[in-house]
Amino acid sequence: MTSAAIYGCAGHRLTEAEKTFFAETRPWGFILFRRNIDTPDQVRALTSELRAAIGNADAPILIDQEGGRVQRMGPPHWPKYPPGDAYLKATNDLSTARELVRLGARLMAHDLREVGINVDCAPVLDTPVPGAHDIIGDRAYGADPETVAQLGRAAAEGLLAGGVLPVIKHMPGHGRAFADSHRDLPVVHADLDTLDAWDFAPFKSLSDMPIGMTAHIVFTAIDPKRPATQSRKAIRMIRERLGFGGLLLSDDLVMNALSGTLTQRAHKALKAGCDIVIHWNGVMDEMRQVAEGVGPLKGAAKRRAEAAMARIVRTPEPLDATAAHARFFQAMGGRMEAARGPDVGEAQA
């Protein structure tokens, strides 16, 4: 029976121990990082191995491919895409920026699908506030919720058109956090009306998307004791106030914002209402701990997972990739320089 987990793996190919573990635990899917990426042929072989290990040729395989500092597949085999904030800066026009965001996402979907990846942990729908930690920073599409919502939808639609599922993140909003949840537990003290008008707004606008990812952040107006990932109150609010009916993934369980053993972290997230948990780093001992806290994917969570996978189009929208790349990079002009801010690196984004 499929388990409510997504795991990473250690390298470019699976070890025998990994094959055995995945066959025993049968995770819903997998997630790749830079350590797993070399050449297109290598990535295709790895995605095939992962699916073969659980006997599911259509199993979801995720990656963080936003552009900018969060891009696991890059040169020399794949283009360097811009960060979220570069589109509006390059065009100074929202309508043109929407077209370019959609085109960029369609191109990324083409890159991913070519190597067997069918889920992209993008777009970022977080809206930063002045002084917030720059872990979001230039990853945000804009400086206000309406811009973020419009460009975020363009990105999601570009991915869907290319046969890749988008994952909206980080619900219910990471833009107000004054700490990096990879290292610390952020606490947000804004009142509910302020959160609703700013932080929640893009997620409500894209509540029809197939998959979302939680934030490891305490919102004192929702639940002063628990981060959203492990809070029944926060998950219920995501379902009801934000109107999100899709599959809900936890952010990475290894992040320092969470406390307790990995078994406890997994159990708390699922008990709170996350449908599936993610463990990213491929460390076998840690994956075994997570597996102890994860049960089978069943009930409403299973139905949401099936509904999400049904959104993958079998025949992507037609694309002349060579011409589209040329048009995209010409339109972006000089906005392709290295992204600013801290490198998110191998952590789950």
Active-site residue among 133, 170, 182, 267? 182
CA distance 100 to 275: 33
Q: Is 251 a residue of the active site?
A: yes
In degrees and rounded to multiples of 5, residue 129 shows phi and psi of -115, 155
- Tell me the DSSP string of 226-256: S-GGG-HHHHHHHHHTS---SEEEEEETTST
State the sign of the Cα–Cα–Cα–Cα dihedral 35, 38, 42, 43. positive
- Tell me the DSSP string of 278-305: EE-S--HHHHHHHHHT--B--HHHHHHH
Q: Which amino acid is at 189?
A: H
Active-site residue among 251, 252, 275, 279? 251
**In the Cβ-directed half-sphere of 80, how many Cα atoms lie within 13 Å?**
11
CA-to-CA dists, residue 250 to 66, 125, 238, 326, angstroms = 18, 16, 13, 36
Contacts of 66 (CB under 8 A, 6+ apart): 81, 83, 84, 121, 122, 123, 124, 139, 349
Other C-beta atoms within 10 Å of 78: how many?
Answer: 20
Q: Is 110 a residue of the active site?
A: no
- As annotated, the active-site residues are 182, 251
